[in-house]
Amino acid sequence: MTDKLKITRRDFVSGFALSLAAGTSLSPLEILAQQGNGADLYYPPSLTGLRGSHPGSFEIAHAMARGGATFSRPDAQTDNVYDLVVLGGGLSGLSAAHLYREKVGPDARILILDNHDDFGGHAKRNEFDVNGNKLLCYGGSQSIDTPGHYSQVSSQLLEDVGIDTQRFYDYFDRSYYKDRGLGNGIYFSKEAYGADSVSSNVTRLPDDADATKVIESYPLSGASKAAFIRLLQSETDYLQDKSRDEKISLMKAMSYMDFLKNTVGVPEAVTLVLRDTIKGFWGFGWDALSALEGYRMGMPGTHHLGLGKLQGEAPGRDEPYIFHFPDGNAGVARSLVRKLIPEAVPGRTMEDLVLSRVDYSLLDRTSNNTRIRLNCTGVDARHVDQDRFVDVTYVHQGRTYRVRGKHAILACYNNMVPHICPEISEAQTEAIAAATKIPLVYISVAVRNWKAFENLGYHSFYIPQGKLMHSFGMDFPVSMGGYQFTQKSSQPTVIHGTYCPTAPSQGLTEREQHVAGRRNLFEMSFADLERDIIGQMSGALAGGGFDAQRDIAAITVNRWPHGYAYEYNELFDPPDWNRASGPHQAGSAQMGRISIANSDASAYAYVNGAIDAADRAVNEQINLGRTR
């Protein structure tokens, strides 16, 4: 598509500069700074093209982890001694800085280093300007999930930075799509089913809908359609000859896909329609999740097994999934930065935060007690001066620098800790290696209108056996702080798409799928991603009059090869591994004046997992200071 468009200055900043950065260790923004244009253009949220782990953010880490690269520690120290140096400016790192300052006092000197050109980690903000309309979307961490179940520390932190989750009940329009007659669609692609077709998603139908009629419209054989209908309507206990304990044991040991195929007798064509429905939640499909998880999630075929409530089962979601800033949890990150460096983020409330423009030039001022230094990759953290301090070495624009802190918190990607910290033990390194990040791509497509969705009667589409995205659709209908979610189909809006790279139905474990998916993702260029995104949207929306060349204004691909934190999977992990007990605890062990804080260390890929890990790390260092 791009070769047909007139290339503008914005296109150069957003796209062409990325191709330059791919061959260097610099980010696109640093290239602009070298050209003398960085001061007025340094605003990462507005960059389009390939974002997330963008060129310039990961090459040094890869050189260390894959190639064994090492970096010398400079003789000269940069800056005066800090009270705390935090490696990683995501939600956990920002929370650690806030919690430390709350305990030590506002005069505490804190430095936050991050390898990306923006703060927030996976909590990224995507901004677009389409015909004078500001559009917002999220490029990673999505929502504040079930805040009523947060720990006291996590709840208090949200309050401290000005976030009142109860206000989202007013800002999130829960009847928006129902009022407009827009439902959940399913897109059967030409590549997987021989021809493009759309229909209603039978797994997301209203209670009064006719599931039989919907399935009859699917491009499946008559036998598969009949089997699908039987599965949805069945009241059979498919394990009726087993005791409750035997059922639970069996269902933990088989995937939900195997349960459908081998126990229920469902044809493969039907299982393939259902396989990826869970990807947006777990990051992989039902071929790598247990049948017992299928029961917990209320999947077809499990409703009449008679298991009741499972022992130790987490409480169900008793709060609506509405606690969402227009830019996702970038709103949480921006709230933290405003608390740490008020001058950099104008305004005072969670509402005016939405349209506030961060002044990035103020993040690393020498006069700040808390400083955020971007485009800096940490390469070494070790104790010095008879263990009285921690020296952290980082690389910025090809040069190494060394800073010193009384304490250090590593809030970076956990699997990099053994490469950064030479003092780590073999046992702790092995514990960290027990987990692997879940690759994830969040896609933001700015469109000039959404008439095609209205014409088809759907606001989102699930894509079974999708070539790239497994789903895409209109965003959460949140209006707040002067920002208005689109009200008419003639208005521009942002379409959100999700791609979780996996290698499904090949007999691979979850971890093996993540490794394979990550490898494939790194091999894909932005042009590859753009082509497939446009192809899928065009195939699904053609019947509604969609024309990609006319209707798409911009695309931002937030690529996270190391995305979701790994959460234990009962199909592959020992039964006693969970959030309270598992290798992550040994992996996050304190090393003197160095502590570890990130969602990996909590084995929990949510905001409160990041905050609680930060709280633990801060308390470790505060308690250490009291004993010395």
Asked if the structure places residue 403 within a domain, the reply is yes
Amino acid at 287: D
Whole domain around residue 623: which residue ranges? 60-122+327-429+579-627
Both 335 and 410 in one domain: the answer is yes
pLDDT score of 318? 81
Both 286 and 332 in one domain: the answer is no
Distance between CA atoms of residues 87 and 219, nearest Å: 51
Distance between CA atoms of residues 325 and 335, nearest Å: 11
The angle at the Cα of 137, spanning 134 to 140, to the nearest 5 degrees, equals: 150
Both 333 and 315 in one domain: the answer is no
Residue spans of alpha helices (H) in 499-542: 510-522, 526-541
pLDDT score of 207? 85
Both 240 and 309 in one domain: the answer is yes
Both 410 and 387 in one domain: the answer is yes
Tokens in use for 414? 């956990």
Asked if the structure places residue 503 within a domain, the reply is no
Distance between CA atoms of residues 338 and 482, nearest Å: 19
- Domain end point (choices 284, 319, 354): 319
Both 374 and 395 in one domain: the answer is yes
Q: If you compute the radius of gyration of the chain from its CA atoms, what whole number of angstroms results?
A: 25
- Domain end point (choices 252, 285, 319): 319
Both 375 and 423 in one domain: the answer is yes
Asked if the structure places residue 134 within a domain, the reply is no
Both 336 and 246 in one domain: the answer is no
Both 422 and 335 in one domain: the answer is yes
Cα dihedral 11, 15, 18, 19 in deg (nearest 10): -110
Asked if the structure places residue 591 within a domain, the reply is yes
- Domain end point (choices 319, 341, 372): 319
Distance between CA atoms of residues 572 and 247, nearest Å: 18
**CA 363, chain centre distance (Å):** 24
pLDDT score of 310? 87
pLDDT score of 313? 60
Both 339 and 389 in one domain: the answer is yes
Residues of the chain with pLDDT under 70: 1-40, 311-317, 625, 627-628
Q: Which letter, b or e, does each residue of 121-154 get, where b requires 16 or more Cβ atoms within 10 Å of its Cβ?
A: bbbbbbbbebeeebbbbbbbbbbbbbbeebeebb
Both 273 and 303 in one domain: the answer is yes
**Count of Cβ atoms closer than 10 Å to residue 454 Cβ:** 18
> 590: exposed, middle or buried (C-beta count within 10 Å: 0-12, 13-18, 19+)?
middle
| DSSP designation for 212 | H
Asked if the structure places residue 364 within a domain, the reply is yes
Asked if the structure places residue 192 within a domain, the reply is no
pLDDT score of 16? 29
Asked if the structure places residue 236 within a domain, the reply is yes
Distance between CA atoms of residues 622 and 613, nearest Å: 14
Give me the number of domains the chain comprises: 2
Asked if the structure places residue 481 within a domain, the reply is no
Both 263 and 333 in one domain: the answer is no
| DSSP designation for 263 | I
Q: What is the pTM of this model?
A: 0.93
pLDDT tens digits, one per residue of 377-434: 999 999 999 999 999 999 999 999 999 999 999 999 999 999 999 999 999 999 999 9
Q: Cβ(570)–Cβ(248) under 8 Å?
A: no
Tokens in use for 51? 């974002």
**CATH number (domain holding residue 601):** 3.50.50.60
